[in-house]
Chain A
Amino acid sequence: MISATDLRLTFGKGTPLENPALRGMSLTVNQGEFVTVIGSNGAGKSTFLNALAGEVMVDSGTIIVDNLNVTKLPTHKRAGRVARVFQDPLAGTCEGLSIEENLSLAIKRGQRRSLGTAVKKQYEEQFRESLSSLNLGLENRLGDKMGLLSGGQRQAVSLLMASLTPSAILLLDEHTAALDPKTAAFVLELTKNIIEEQKLTALMVTHSMKQALEVGTRTVMLHQGEVVFDIEGKDREGLEVKDLLELFETQRGLSVDDDSLLLG
C-alpha cells in the first residue's frame, strides 16, 4: 500500500518562473489496485510520479510506501519498493549492455550488489522464460546489446525488468506515449497481462482518457496539482470519455480545453 498525504511542491520558488506543481496532492493506493492517472499538461502527473520515485523531493507532505516513510529518501533507497518504467523507451535500459546484463541489473533492484559475477548461470532459465512471454524472439538474443533493439522492444524489456523482482508499487509514466500505435497497443497489452498475472499494485499516467478508462481498476484525474476526482468499481463501469468530461466540469465548474486529452 502506498499513501501520499498533502504533497506540496513549488518549482523555482521566489523566481519569476515560480510554478506550484503539487498543491496538496493526496492519494492512497491499496494493495492490488491498478490506478490510471489522467490530467492535462501541467496538472502535476509527472511531478507526482517523480515525487513517489524520489527523483524530486517534496516541500511538505508525507509519502508512505508499505509502512515505511520514504519522504526524505533518495531514489536508490526507495528502489526496492518502487519499480518504474519511463516514458522514453531508451531511458529504462542501458544500450551499451547486453539484454542479460540489463536483466541482471534489474534482478538486484534495491539489494546489495556484491563482487560476484553479475550474469549468473542460475538466472538464465528465468530470463529466457520471461523474455519468451514477450513473443519477440528475444529469449535467443540474451547476449545482444540492448542498443540493437527497437524502441518498442526496449520498452517491453523495461517492463519486464520492472516486474522481475517484487515491489510495493509499479510506476508507469506514459510508457506507451513515445511508441507507434501498433507497438503502443502491444506494450499496453503486455502491461495489463503482467500486472494481472503478478497481482501488482500499479500507477499508470496516461495522456489518453480512453485508455485511462479501459485499463485498470480505478481512475484518478489531477488538475493544478490536486486530485479532482477519483472513481472506481461500479461508478467507473461503462463510463465514457464524455462522462469524464462532464464529471470534471461539474466538479470544478471548468471545461477541459486540452485537445490532446480529448483526442487521445
Chain B
Amino acid sequence: MLSNIAFYGAVETGLIYGLVAFGIYLSFRVLDFPDLTVDGSFPLGAAVAAVLIIEGWNPWLATGCAVFAGMAAGAVTAILNVKLKILNLLASILTMIALYSINLRVMGRPNIALLGEDTVLTPWYSLGLAYHQVPVLLFAIVIFIALILLWRFMKSETGLAMRATGANPRMARAQGIATGAMIILGVAVSNGLVGLAGALFAQSQGAADVTMGVGVIVIGLASLIGGEAVITPSTVVRALIACVVGAIIYRLAIAFALNADFLGLQAQDLNLITAVLVTLAIVLPGIRSSVVSKFTSKKA
C-alpha cells in the first residue's frame, strides 16, 4: 500500500498538475485550440523561476516572472495561428520545439538545483506542519485562488466572449467579438498557468530540468479527461473542480500502480501507464453509456 509520504507526494504533484489541467481546459475545451506549447512552457516556467531564485530574487517574484514567460510563449503560439494562419496544432509544436532551445539558453545548462535556496515553500515550514504536508497546504491555497479567479473570469463579459469564440466563432464575430484577440489572450493565460505550475514544480522538487516538460500535455489531458469522467462538467465551476480532482486521482493512480508490487511496474513505465490511463479515461465513459443504453432499450 501507499505510504503516508507517498500519498502526500501524489496529492502535492496532483495539485500542481491541476494548474496544468486548468490551462489545458482553457485551450482544448474553452477555445477548442489543441495546444502542445505546454510541453515547453512548463519547463520554461521552471527555468525562469529557478534562474531568478538562484540570482537571489524573491521566490514569489520569480514565480510571477515564470507566469509571464509562460504567457509570452502562449501568445507566440496563438499569434502564429491567428496572424500567420498556421494550423493551431502545428503552431504549438513549433513554439514547443523553439522553447527547448530557449529553456537551455535561460538556464545556461540542462538543469539547475535549488537545494538550500529560499523558495515559496521556505516560510511555510516554520508553521509546525509535517515536512511532507507543507507543499500540499500551500499548493492547495494557490490552486484554490486560481480556481476562483478563473471561474470569475469565465463568468465575466470578456470570459463569456472567449467561450463563444471557442464554441461558435462565426456567431462570436457577428456579436462583435474580436475572435483573434480572444484566442491570443486565452492561449496566453493557459500557458501562464502552465508556467506557474512549472515554477512551483521546480521549487517543490528542488530542481529545474530541461527535459521535465516531456509528456506534460498528456498528463494534463489525462487529468482533464479523467476529471470529466468523475465530475460531469455541466458548469464552469464543475469543470474546474474536475480538473483538480482529475489531476489528483491521476497522480494517486500512478502512485498506486508503481507501489503495487504484484504488477511489477517500475518508474520507467510511467509514460506507458499514462498512455493506458488516458486511453481508458477516453474509452470507458463511451462503453458505460452504450451498456446503459442497451439496458434501457431492453426495458423499452
Asked whether B179 lies within 8 Å of A76 as measured between CB atoms, the reply is yes
Choose one: B156, B158, B168, B174; the contact of A75 (CB below 8 Å). Answer: B174
Give Cα A161–Cα B167 distance, bound, in whole angstroms: 17
CB-nearest residue of chain A to B160: A118
What chain B residues lie within 8 Å of A119 (beta carbons)?
155
- 8 A Cβ contacts from A88-136 to B: 91-97, 101, 104-106, 108-111, 113-119
Give Cα A109–Cα B158 distance, bound, in whole angstroms: 12
What chain A residues lie within 8 Å of B157 (beta carbons)?
104, 108, 113-118
Judge whether A53 is part of the interface by a CB distance below 8 angstroms.
yes
What chain A residues lie within 8 Å of B153 (beta carbons)?
115
- 8 A Cβ contacts from B142-185 to A: 153, 155-161, 163-164, 167-168, 170-179
CB-nearest residue of chain B to A92: B171
Asked whether A113 lies within 8 Å of B174 as measured between CB atoms, the reply is no
What chain B residues lie within 8 Å of A74 (beta carbons)?
173
Give Cα A111–Cα B178 distance, bound, in whole angstroms: 11
Q: A94-B163, A105-B160 are in contact. Are A113 and B171 (CB under 8 A)?
A: no
What chain B residues lie within 8 Å of A54 (beta carbons)?
173
Q: Return A26 CB to nearest CB of chain B, in Å.
A: 24
CB-nearest residue of chain A to B158: A113
Asked whether B161 lies within 8 Å of A113 as measured between CB atoms, the reply is yes
Judge whether A188 is part of the interface by a CB distance below 8 angstroms.
no
What chain A residues lie within 8 Å of B160 (beta carbons)?
97, 101, 104-105, 113, 118
Give Cα A195–Cα B289 distance, bound, in whole angstroms: 46
Q: Return A168 CB to nearest CB of chain B, in Å.
A: 13
Judge whether A64 is part of the interface by a CB distance below 8 angstroms.
no
Asked whether A79 lies within 8 Å of B170 as measured between CB atoms, the reply is no
Judge whether A86 is part of the interface by a CB distance below 8 angstroms.
yes
Asked whether A79 lies within 8 Å of B164 as measured between CB atoms, the reply is no
Q: Mark A2-13, 1 if CB is under 8 A from B, else 0.
A: 000000000000
Asked whether A118 lies within 8 Å of B159 as measured between CB atoms, the reply is yes
Q: A108-B157, A116-B156 are in contact. Are A93 and B171 (CB under 8 A)?
A: yes
- 8 A Cβ contacts from A41-94 to B: 53-55, 74-77, 79-80, 83-84, 86, 91-94
CB-nearest residue of chain A to B177: A76
Asked whether A76 lies within 8 Å of B170 as measured between CB atoms, the reply is no
Give Cα A108–Cα B172 distance, bound, in whole angstroms: 11
What chain A residues lie within 8 Å of B168 (beta carbons)?
91, 93-95
Asked whether A79 lies within 8 Å of B155 as measured between CB atoms, the reply is no
What chain A residues lie within 8 Å of B164 (beta carbons)?
94, 97, 105
What chain B residues lie within 8 Å of A161 (beta carbons)?
175
CB-nearest residue of chain B to A90: B168
Q: Return A93 CB to nearest CB of chain B, in Å.
A: 7
CB-nearest residue of chain A to B154: A118
CB-nearest residue of chain B to A53: B174
- 8 A Cβ contacts from B165-223 to A: 167-168, 170-179
Give Cα A95–Cα B177 distance, bound, in whole angstroms: 17
Asked whether A118 lies within 8 Å of B176 as measured between CB atoms, the reply is no
CB-nearest residue of chain B to A79: B176
What chain A residues lie within 8 Å of B159 (beta carbons)?
115, 118
What chain B residues lie within 8 Å of A115 (beta carbons)?
153, 156-159
Give Cα A111–Cα B177 distance, bound, in whole angstroms: 9
Choose one: A80, A113, A117; the contact of B155 (CB below 8 Å). Answer: A117
Give Cα A147–Cα B157 distance, bound, in whole angstroms: 21
CB-nearest residue of chain B to A113: B157
Most buried by B among A76, A83, A92, A101: A76
What chain A residues lie within 8 Å of B161 (beta carbons)?
105, 113
CB-nearest residue of chain A to B153: A115
Asked whether A96 lies within 8 Å of B163 as measured between CB atoms, the reply is yes
Asked whether B156 lies within 8 Å of A91 as measured between CB atoms, the reply is no
Which residues on A are within 8 Å of B, measured CB to CB? 53-55, 74-77, 79-80, 83-84, 86, 91-97, 101, 104-106, 108-111, 113-119, 161
5 example contacts (A-B, Cβ-Cβ < 8 A) are as follows A86-B174, A91-B171, A92-B171, A92-B174, A104-B160
Which residues on B are within 8 Å of A, measured CB to CB? 153, 155-161, 163-164, 167-168, 170-179
Given contacts A79-B174, A93-B168, 8 further A-B contacts (CB under 8 A): A53-B174, A75-B173, A76-B173, A80-B176, A91-B170, A97-B160, A101-B160, A110-B175
User: Which are the 5 A-B pairs with shortest beta-carbon distances?
Assistant: A79-B176, A113-B157, A110-B176, A75-B173, A118-B160
